[in-house]
Amino acid sequence: MALIKCKECGKEISSDAKICPHCGKELQKSSILTKEYGCGGCLAAIVLIIILFIAINAITNRPPSVKTIEVQKIIGAQCSECETIFSAETTVVSMPSNQVGGRKYITEYRDTICSDSCIKQRELIAKKFYQEGRNAYNSKNYNTAKDKFIAAINKGYKDAQIWLEKTNKKIIAQQEVEKEKREIAARQAYAKLAREAFLDQGMDVKVYVHGPKNKYITLTYVLMGDVFIHNFEKSPMFQEIYNLGFRRVYYKDGYDFSKYTYWEQ
């Protein structure tokens, strides 16, 4: 039991009293509780919540993904040009780890050259590769030109990049031309194969390949007519002709009959 002051008359009374014995004022329970416990309990609860929040945040939060860079001198670097061992700079990169408070370290070596003479030597070699690439390009030896331009770029000759792009376009165009030549030759060779296939079926059909890039094929047969055309265009040979790149098939009987079928280019 504790003593408190009556709010009405100000005299001390028991905290368990419901009525003030001095003035007769009825005391409320909330007033007693407020006086007995005060704000100390609320403050303690707030402090406890803040401590718990800080603890949880420290456990769950990881270090920010920021790296620090530090340049250091090291011994034992090798010159990328003359392979001499010498002192050189290296970059040490400190990266955050997944562990709380932990960091991992990655060493990144710079491109190292030991002296000005090596720098000049490198520039001369790069220029030599570049000039050899230009000569090969002018001679239409594009694969060699590509190799030379790449070598010049690796030595730091940046102007070679433009010529490397031009060379790659030339190589692609050259490959397309070679592909087209193979397709033209394949269509020309097909005439003989088709002739033999017709003979195996007992039909004396003459086959002639012609037109731009050998894309036309003419079938001449003395009994040529709508029945032959109908059956032929349902056969696997007709699909084969299309797959080889033919875009027009002429049907003739050697006299006055003539029809053709074509596919859009």
Q: Per residue of the chain (265 residues), what is the pLDDT tens digit? A: 567 777 777 777 777 777 777 777 776 654 443 344 445 556 666 767 777 666 665 555 544 444 555 555 555 555 555 555 555 555 555 555 444 444 444 444 444 555 566 677 778 888 999 999 999 999 999 999 999 999 999 888 888 999 999 999 999 999 999 999 999 999 999 999 999 999 999 999 999 999 999 999 999 999 999 999 999 999 999 999 999 999 999 999 999 999 999 987 6
User: What range does the domain containing 171 cover?
Assistant: 117-177
Do 53 and 88 have their domain in common? no
Using only the alpha carbons of the chain, give its radius of gyration: 47
Are residues 185 and 249 located together in one domain of the fold? Answer: yes
Helix (H) or strand (E) holding 127: helix 116-138
Q: What one-character DSSP code corresponds to residue 69?
A: E
Same domain, 94 and 81: yes
> Does residue 195 share a domain with residue 256?
yes
Cα separation of 227 and 198, whole Å? Answer: 15
196 and 209 both lie in a single domain:
yes
- State the amino acid at position 265 in one-letter form: Q
Q: Do 187 and 171 sit in the same domain of this protein?
A: no
Residues near 237 by beta carbon (within 8 Å), at least 6 away in sequence: 194, 197
Residue 24's φ and ψ, nearest 5 degrees, are: 80, 10
CA atoms within 13 A on the CB side of 224: 21
> Which residue, 45, 42, 18, 47, is CA-closest to 31?
18
Q: Which of 97, 114, 131 is the last residue of a domain?
A: 114
Question: Same domain for 138 and 202?
Answer: no
The predicted structure's pLDDT at residue 26: 74
Count of domains for the chain: 4
Q: Which two tokens stand for residue 90?
A: 């290296």
Query: Do residues 244 and 203 both lie within one domain?
Result: yes
Based on the domain organization, do 219 and 186 belong to the same domain?
A: yes
Distance (Å, whole) CA 77 – CA 113 = 9
Residues 126 and 107 in one domain: no
Are 49 and 91 in the same domain?
Answer: no
158 and 122 inside one domain = yes
